[in-house]
Amino acid sequence: MDRAAADNWFAKSAIEMACWDIQGKEAGKPVYELLGGAVRPLPITCRFSMGAYPLERARQRAGELVEEGFTTIKVKVGTDIEEDVARVAAVREVIGPHRDW
């Protein structure tokens, strides 16, 4: 897969999700059970999915979404791991501890 989708993390992610879905259907179980079970007592509904923006744009966009009233923000990852960690930390800092992501 690395050769077929070199540097295309979003394509790899889609393929991986499809593989997990197939495994879940074959096992007759939801994917979260294949991954070890639920880690939160309630499901989280995604209200907004933020792209893998550069760090400062991610901060800005997170602030805009909070101002617009979003309470759940999905942050895309899959670029450089250090950039991903920095982006997620920056968004968490902006949105605060009382919102989900």
Summarised one tens digit per residue, pLDDT across range 51-75 is 889 999 999 999 998 898 887 888 8
69 and 94 share one domain? yes
For the four alpha carbons of 26, 32, 33 and 35, in that order, the dihedral sign comes to: positive
Could you write out the DSSP letters of every residue in 45-96? ----EE----HHHHHHHHHHHHHTT--B-EE---S-HHHHHHHHHHHHHHH-
Confidence tier at 35 by pLDDT (50, 70, 90): very high
Together in a domain, 52 and 81:
yes
Indicate if the pLDDT at residue 97 is higher than 90: no
Question: Each residue of 10-31: pLDDT tens digit?
Answer: 888 889 999 999 999 999 999 9
pTM of the model: 0.57
Owning domain of residue 58: 42-101
Residues 54 and 99 in one domain: yes
Residue 37 vs residues 4, 16, 22, 30, 68: alpha-carbon distances, Å: 31, 18, 17, 9, 33
User: Domain count of the chain?
Assistant: 2
